[in-house]
Amino acid sequence: MRFYVYYNHMAKFQTPFGKYFRELDKIDKGQRYSKEYGSIMILGLVEEVGEMARAYLAEHGRKGSNKVAQQDESYEQELGDLLLTILRLARIKRINLDKRLMYSLNKIKRRKRK
């Protein structure tokens, strides 16, 4: 199922992420976006990757002595945080994630054929 997402006075594009974008519109209402905000989102991505890695390693015995990591969110929950951060960045920077994902999938297919 595809949803249309509108970015104020910009052209619309189809995306299967419309449900999430609508929720983010509510959460981020009134937020002013700047080049600095994009930088903050990139740092947020790095942070979320680190948290997910820490949780995964704690759960799978690689960091058994890290009690803090074991008490925090699971790596599945952290993956959700990471994906939401990616969606937020794509929304703010007006990136059509459906198009980008299809590009990446096709790139992997080309590599497999070689």
Average pLDDT over residues 51-79: 76
Q: Rounded to an integer, what distance in angstroms lies between the CA atom of residue 113 and that of residue 92?
A: 35
Q: Which residue has the higher pLDDT, 87 or 18?
A: 87
State the pLDDT at residue 6: 44
State the pLDDT at residue 16: 76
Question: pLDDT digits over 96-106, tens only?
Answer: 888 999 999 99
| Interacting residues of 31 by C-beta distance below 8 A, sequence separation 6+ | 37
- Mean pLDDT (the chain, rounded): 80
**Token pair belonging to 7:** 């970015």
CATH number for the domain running over 34-113: 1.10.287
**Token pair belonging to 13:** 């594009």
DSSP state of 68: H
**Cα–Cα nearest to 45, from 101, 99, 89, 92:** 89
Average pLDDT over residues 49-64: 81
